[in-house]
Amino acid sequence: MQVETLADNVAMIRAATQAGFVREGTLRRVAWVHGDFADQVVLGLLGTEWDASARG
């Protein structure tokens, strides 16, 4: 699975990492927000990682 969010969205990045997502990288200045470009963070979670976290 993949999650993408703005780099300054600290709460979303924290929630995703707590759910097991790993920060894959940053897409620089790709999102048009309020008249300017902003960075976007990509987080990923593999199926095998999801299975491990689901078992607790």
**Domain total of the chain:** 1
Give the pLDDT score at 51. 74
Buried b (16+ CB within 10 A) or exposed e, 26-43: eeeeeeeeeeeebebbeb
Q: What whole-number distance in Å separates Cα of residue 23 and Cα of residue 3?
A: 9
User: Please, which contacts does 23-32 make with residues 24 or more away whose CB atoms are closer than 8 Å?
Assistant: 31/6
pLDDT in tens, 21-39: 999 999 999 999 999 999 9
Q: What is the pLDDT of residues 39-55, one digit of tens each?
A: 999 999 999 888 766 65
Tell me the pLDDT band of 4, cut-offs 50, 70 and 90: very high
CB 41, CB 4: distance < 8 Å: yes
The pTM of the full predicted model, rounded to 2 decimals, is 0.84
Give the domain extent around 47. Answer: 2-55
